[in-house]
Copies of this chain bind each other. A is one copy, B any other.
Amino acid sequence: MEKLTIKDIARLVGVSTATVSYYLNKNYSKMSKVTREKIRVVIEETDYRPNSVARNLAKNENKMIGVSVADITNPFTSAVLSGIYDACGSKGYQVVFTNASGSYQREAVNINKLRQEEVSGLIIDPVDPDNPIYKVLSNDTSVMLDRQSDSPKIDTIVTDNFKSVSVFTNKMIKSGYEELFFVSWPLGSISTRVKRYEGFLDATQYANNDHLVTFEDTLETVDLQEKLQTIMHKFPNKKIGFFAMNGRVLIKLLHAMQDLRLSYPEDYGVGAYEDLEWMGVIKPGISCIHQYSYEIGLKSVDNILKKIESGKNTNAKPKLIVMATKMVIRKSY
Contacts and interface: CB of A to CB of B under 8 A. Distances in A.
B95 A97 contact: yes
State which size class the interface on A falls in: 35 or more
A113 B94 contact: yes
A271 B101 CA distance: 31
Contacts of A72: 78, 81-82, 85
A99 interface: yes
Contacts of A54: 57
A32 interface: no
A186 to B, nearest CB: 21
A115 B49 CA distance: 9
Interface string A95-112: 111110100000000001
Interface in A149-175: none
A80 to B, nearest CB: 10
Interface string A207-235: 00000000000000000000000000000
A251 B280 CA distance: 9
Contacts of A278: 251, 276-278, 282
B99 A85 contact: yes
Interface in A280-303: 280-283
Given A75-B75, A78-B72, A79-B73, A96 B96 contact: yes
Number of this chain's copies in the assembly equals: 2
Interface of A: 49-54, 56-57, 62, 64, 72-73, 75, 77-79, 81-82, 85-86, 89, 94-99, 101, 112-113, 115-118, 248, 251, 254-255, 258, 276-278, 280-283
A276 B282 CA distance: 13
**Most chain B C-beta atoms within 10 Å of own C-beta, residue among A52, A97, A278:** A278
27 contacts: A49-B116, A50-B116, A51-B57, A51-B118, A52-B117, A53-B62, A53-B117, A54-B57, A57-B57, A64-B96, A72-B81, A72-B82, A73-B75, A86-B99, A94-B98, A94-B117, A95-B97, A96-B96, A96-B97, A97-B97, A248-B277, A251-B281, A254-B282, A255-B280, A258-B283, A277-B278, A282-B283
B112 A85 contact: no
Nearest to A248: B277
A312 to B, nearest CB: 12
A195 B73 CA distance: 27
A73 B78 contact: yes
Contacts of A79: 73
A73 B84 CA distance: 12
A263 to B, nearest CB: 8
Contacts of A75: 73, 75, 78
Leading 9 A-B pairs by shortest Cβ distance:
A278-B278, A96-B96, A282-B282, A49-B116, A85-B99, A251-B281, A53-B56, A53-B57, A72-B82
Nearest to A85: B99
